[in-house]
Structure 1
Amino acid sequence: MRPFFSEYEPHNIHFINPLWSTPLNLAHKKGLKNESHIYFWGRKSFPEVEEFAQNNNIKIFRVEDGFIRSVGLGSDLTQPYSQVIDTRGIYFDPTVESDLENLLQNYDFSSNKELLERAKNIQNEIIKNKLSKYNFDAIKSLNFPKDKTIALVTGQVEDDASIQYGANGKTNLELLQAVKQKYPDRYIVFKPHPDVLSGNRIGNISNDEALKYCDEIVSDVSMASVLEAVDEVHTLTSLTGFEGLVYGKKVFTYGLPFYAGWGLTIDEQKCERRTKKLMLEELIATTYLLYPRYISPKNKELCEVEEVIKELKKQKDALKNSQYLRIKFTVYNFCSRILQKLLSMVA
């Protein structure tokens, strides 16, 4: 995390582990002052700290992975190359305005044509290089029926905060059932979330149960490969819906993700704050360029998204072409998952 916070001296950045004591007591021991900044991961709640911050006018920021992250899962503790730092809320929680929503609603894109050109170039590079958020599954050609509309239904981690705050806690099975009921003529393809398939997170549906409501299940294949082969994306709040827009697909949302409500998706829910109609390039520019921070995979210094795209492409190619790197990648992930389960049991 440290490289993303180059505005601070390294010795002034302190990490608090609430396993050993209360976060507020630990923060005080590490020198918490009124001029300090406090960063929370995602939507986690620490009422004691939040009350102290409010009483002492200390600013709270929320941090989360960005949208082009790594070659490998975050839940496997793979180094991230993008993060978002939000001063208002966090992008996946629609109950409060986030910096991302504020930018989408209020940024004057007409005064920055260069930004929109960059956004179009980034879109082209993502499609050409078949990039997504995690970028580790195999690129494959998928053959679905030619005489039907192919609808992708994306599985998510069911205890994820984006589901809790943006989809009223709906489950993957409920999403599959809803799509099947509303669009019985579609050829429905279900892709489980990689964090669920890895065993790191919850949300699994047995194949027998899933196949009651879909025609095919795909796994161990990149999201880019799937998006190339389908016509539509149906999702609660998954980032795949945004990536579907990037890939030029029709997108249906059943929750309230950050990319819904701007006139680009077919939405079941509505956010009254979102009144602006956006072009796709404006959504891409805000999501990939204005909102996140990036560090270079080469030297971990702050950089632009274009460098991350270039370096992730190199990493993907290296993993594809080197058996040694593939074995190393597999062993690391296996050890990470075992270690995390052991630590969870101890905790």
Structure 2
Amino acid sequence: MNFFFGFSYWKHPFVEPFFDEKPIFINPLLGKKHLEKALRKGLNPQSTITIWGKKSFPHVEQYAQKHHINIDRVEDGFIRSVGLGSDLTQPYSLVVDRGGIYFDPSCESELEAILLHHVFSPEEVVRAQKIRHYLVDKKLSKYNLYDNTDLDFPKDRLIVVVPGQVEDDASIRYGASGMSNLELLRQTRENRSEAYIVYKPHPDVLVGNRIGAVNEDDALRYCDRIVTEVGIDSVLAHADEVHTMTSLVGFEALMRGIHVVTYGVPFYAGWGLSEDKKICERRTRKLDIDELVAGTYLLYPRYLHPKTRKKCEIEDVLEYLDKNRQHFKDSLWMKYRNWVSRKIQMIIRVLKGLI
């Protein structure tokens, strides 16, 4: 039996098809008696334990350690959906990691192990190259929320793009020591004093679902322009460099041949492809971009076809995304659903005293 901890109720129907064994979700209505509820439902030393991200369940984890049960940790994959996870949209990919999780460099994740040790076959490299070209040509990204548009930037200055992130996101807490978006902008300006710096806030922050907003006047002390509500390719098309903490935008920039400077320790840093301010001593192997793509997109995640809800390959998801993303963006039902979701989440944050 596979017991799942830390999965919000809305995730249950979306997550279940990714697993061969039917999950037993443990969501106590009152208190935090997760272990007691799981034991009543049949948790035993032969069970599997699965936890969302880096959520902490001390009693469950102590039980797992005592009985030598490996813990799988689950997160959204790198090609997720049309729309934001914070708008409760269905994920098209998940990662399941028994070593750690890709955004936490404190220990070796399964992705890091793949990138360190896997011998990439010529077939995998060719397939990864095709996927990379498809992603770039079709301008596909993690969320595919905004349309791309032509933007005008100075032709005689170095263009540096700084992608904002969700400041309470686990990837920032574990991969960038809790660095803020404003501090990232400050350090970028310090390192590229003559550059034209473009700041693109994170879409989850823009819609008000997550923490990380930077006051416009404060941001403009360090950047020259703030760009919102356009696809990431709109700015990457002009970028000479991307400076980031741990954002996936850095990886997307590498796939486009753009110079990337990392201030945290994202999964794509340390392989000889980026300029890294922090070093992960374990990462001693040099990879080319298609080997990095192969490990990240082909070997690590699981994919689910958005329509059939059956397991599939990444190529199937990308084809579906390319054909249907505009339909989802134009859908009045999706717009209404997202509006309601954001209002409910705002009320919850107010009640919790977060805003």
TM-score, normalized by the shorter chain, greater than 0.5: yes
Question: How far apart are the structure 2 equivalents of 1:24 and 1:334?
Answer: 36
Counterpart position of 1:3? 17
Q: Tell me, in whole angstroms, the C-alpha distance in 2 between the residues paired with 1:126 and 1:344.
A: 35
Gaps of 5+ in 2: 1-14
Distance 2:316 2:233 in 1: 20
Q: CA deviation at 1:341?
A: 3.4
Give the fraction of aligned pairs with identical amino acids, expressed as a percent.
54
Q: 1:286 is matched with which residue: 277, 280, 295? A: 295
- Structure 1 residues 174, 345: CA separation in 2 closer, same or farther (over 3 Å shift)? closer
> Aligned partner of 1:191: which letter?
K
Of residues 158, 179, 189, the one that matches 2:198 is 189
- Indicate the residue corresponding to 2:40 in structure 1: 29
Q: Deviations over 1:178-201 (max 9, x none)?
A: 011111111000000111111111
Question: Match of 1:166?
Answer: 175
Separation of aligned partners in 1, 2:83 and 2:303 = 16
Judge which range, 235-244 or 334-343, deviates more: 334-343
Match of 1:86 in 2: 97
Structure 1 residue 80: deviation in Å? 0.2
- Corresponding residue to 2:256 among 247, 251, 261: 247
> Using a 3 Å threshold, how does the CA distance of structure 1 residues 107 and 200 change in structure 2: closer, same or farther?
same
- Structure 1 residue 44, shift from structure 2 partner: 1.0
- Could you report, residue by residue, the CA deviation over 1:6-40 in whole angstroms, capped at 9, with x for unpaired residues? x21x3xx1112245241111211222121111111
Residue 60 of structure 1: which of 47, 50, 71 is its match? 71
Q: 1:85 aligns to what SS in structure 2? A: strand
Moved more, 185-194 or 16-25: 16-25
- Matching residue's letter, 2:131: I
2:3 aligned residue: none
For residues 9-24 of structure 1, the aligned pairs below 5 Å read 10=22, 13-21=23-31, 22-24=33-35
Per-residue CA deviation, residues 127-177 of structure 1 (Å, 9 max, x unaligned), is 111000000101111111111111001111111111111111110000000
Q: Matched residue of 2:343: which SS?
A: helix
| Structure 1 residue 343, shift from structure 2 partner | 4.4
After TM superposition, the structure 1 = structure 2 runs for residues 262-281 of structure 1, keeping only pairs within 5 Å, are 262-281=271-290
CA contact (8 A) 2:82 2:321 kept: yes
Kindly provide the amino acid, as one letter, of the partner of residue 228 in structure 2: S
Structure 1 residue runs of 5 or longer lacking an equivalent are none
Distance in 2 between residues matched to 1:214 and 1:341, nearest whole Å: 29
* CA distance in structure 1 between the partners assigned to 2:346 and 2:151 by the alignment: 34
TM-score (norm 1): 0.94
Structure 2 CA distance, aligned partners of 1:53 and 1:207?
47
Q: What aligned pairs does 1:182-331 form with structure 2 within 5 A after superposition?
A: 182-319=191-328, 322=330, 325=331, 327-331=332-336
Is this contact kept in 2: 1:130–1:225, CA < 8 A?
no
Deviation of residue 42 (structure 1)? 0.7
Deviations 1:39-87, CA, capped at 9 Å, x for gaps: 1111111111100111112221000000000000001100000000001
- Provide the rounded CA distance (Å) in 1 between the counterparts of 2:29 and 2:167: 24
Q: Is this contact kept in 1: 2:82–2:328, CA < 8 A?
A: no
Secondary structure of residue in 2 paired with 1:69: coil
Deviations 1:85-114 (A, max 9, x none): 0011000000010000000000012xx111
One-letter identity of the residue aligned with 2:66: N
Task: Give the one of 47, 52, 55 matched to 2:58.
Answer: 47
Q: Deviations over 1:189-238 (max 9, x none)?
A: 00001111111111110111101100000010011222112111100011
Three-state SS of the structure 2 residue aligned to 1:84 is: strand
For 1:282 and 1:129, the matched residues in 2 are separated by 21
**How many angstroms apart in 1 are the aligned matches of 2:28 and 2:260?**
40
Match of 2:341 in 1: 336
Aligned length: 337
- Is the contact between residue 72 and residue 97 of structure 2 (CA under 8 Å) also seen in structure 1? yes
Preserved CA contact (<8 Å) 2:164 2:201: yes
Secondary structure (helix, strand or coil) at the match of 1:102 reads helix
The CA RMSD over aligned residues, in Å, is 1.3
Distance (Å, rounded) in 1 between the aligned partners of 2:28 and 2:348: 14
User: Which 4+ runs in 1 deviate beyond 4 A?
Assistant: 343-347
| From 129, 144, 147, the counterpart of 1:135 | 144
Tell me the secondary structure at the aligned position of residue 188 of structure 1: strand
Indicate conservation of the 8 Å contact 2:243/2:261, yes or no.
Answer: yes
Compute the TM-score of the two structures, normalised by the length of structure 2.
0.92
